[in-house]
Amino acid sequence: MIISRIEYEVLSNVLILFYFQQMNDRHDTGIPPDFRRGRGANVNPANRYDRLAKEPLAERWTLDGEGAGRTNISYETPRSAIAYNKSPDISFDRSINPYRGCEHGCIYCFARPSHAYLGLSPGLDFERQLIARPGIAEVLRKELAAKKYNVAPMAIGTNTDPYQPVEKQHAQMREILSVLRETNHPVGIVTKGSLIERDIDLIAPMAARGLARVGISITTLDSRVSRAMEPRVPGPRRRLETIRRLSRAGIPVRVMIAPVIPGLTDHELEPIMKLAAEAGAVAVSTIQLRLPQEVAPLFEGWLQEHFPDRAKKVLGRVREVHGGKLYDARWGHRFRGQGVWADLLRKRVKLAAHRYNLSLELPALRTDLFTAPKPRSAQMELF
């Protein structure tokens, strides 16, 4: 039988797709354990926009001296600095992401699917194929100087962590903070990184004027669980020390127990709040575990590898909280969950917050002190 070139290419693509699907159905990832040591994800699945699934060969992961999985940095020329949202679930409408991807490697990170937009995997790529955005502070300066700009609190760290290890080299977060401080722009920062202590000299004066606050995320006090779940994050005790140092500098700190993982970390709710309050935290917030898109299979695979004895219980409780599914994306539900367990958790938080004098809400940051950035050139001020 003679077939046309087009028919041949179509048939070839079908066979290739079938082959890769069979490969993906296997549990052998082809990624040596040494390569993914110190990483959260144990696989590097294709993202949802790929036409074909890919199966990496073991030898590929040891080329170019990468050894145990070196972190690679790419660079993006940012066209905008501020990202706006209209979600009714969150308290801010604008944010800044200094980096794309996050070396912290938290297996539960809801930002992992955002790497798919870049043509990269939400798995290992999210942790090791990072993108820095040099010049983002200058872009921010121009956006704040626009006549149509209306000031409101800026959120930083709500997608990927601004104080992940790469910040030590690139200092993009410090540059952004310098612009916000210069313009008296209100900012809320969320991080797990102790590197934020480097910027106390910028944040503390802003906090004194009601312009800044910080959220420090602590998911567990068990260093073994933490190391497996968020492998390149400072340990729990080190994060408590960060709360202490920020608080001593006069910076309001909220301890964020996020996410709460039922059957794995939920029993630590009160101890975390107690130690955080003793370290100087003034507020607390919690968020239920969220497993959007690619995060669900990544988290399931991680559970089976690290806590196989608890996997069934944890996933069953997650489904209970989200109406029988691993994730419910509906507004008003995705952060809070539903059912008896979710209600009990909220009651526990309320009681413990009262016991340890932690606020559930903080006063609004000031917006009346904002001044637009001055032109870089003194000569431009003549016009």
Whole-angstrom CA distances from 147 to 144, 218, 282 are 8, 40, 36
pLDDT at site 22: 39
pLDDT at site 335: 66
Residue 191, classed as helix, strand or coil, is strand
Domain boundaries, the chain: 72-359
Q: Cα(131)–Cα(223) distance, rounded to whole angstroms?
A: 29
Token code pair at residue 260? 């709460």
- The angle formed by the CA atoms of residues 295, 298 and 301, to the nearest 5 degrees, is 150
pLDDT at site 65: 43
- Closest C-alpha among 336, 261, 273 to residue 300: 261
State the CATH class of domain 72-359: alpha beta
Sequential pLDDT tens for the chain (383 residues): 454 544 444 444 443 334 334 334 333 345 666 667 778 887 777 777 776 555 554 444 444 444 446 889 999 999 999 999 887 777 889 999 999 999 999 999 999 999 988 889 899 999 999 999 999 999 999 999 999 999 999 999 989 999 999 999 999 999 999 999 999 999 999 999 999 999 999 999 999 999 999 999 999 999 999 999 999 999 999 999 999 999 999 999 999 999 999 999 999 999 999 999 999 999 999 988 989 888 999 999 999 999 999 999 999 999 988 888 787 767 666 667 778 888 999 999 999 999 999 999 999 999 999 999 986 654 454 44
Q: Cα(191)–Cα(212) distance, rounded to whole angstroms?
A: 14
Residue 357, classed as helix, strand or coil, is coil
Q: Say what the pTM is.
A: 0.84
Beta strands in 106-145 (DSSP E): 129-132
Q: Cα(134)–Cα(380) distance, rounded to whole angstroms?
A: 25
- The angle formed by the CA atoms of residues 175, 100 and 61, to the nearest 5 degrees, is 130
Buried (b) or exposed (e) across 7-41, using 16+ Cβ within 10 A?
A: eeeeeeeeeeeeebeeeeeeeebbbeeebbeebbb
Biggest alpha carbon–alpha carbon distance for the chain:
81
DSSP state of 8: H
Token code pair at residue 152? 């409101």
pLDDT at site 89: 74
- Cα atoms in the Cβ-side hemisphere of radius 13 Å centred on 369: 18
Contacts of 342 (CB under 8 A, 6+ apart): 288, 321, 336
DSSP symbols for 319-348: HHHTTTSS----TTTTTT--SHHHHHHHHH
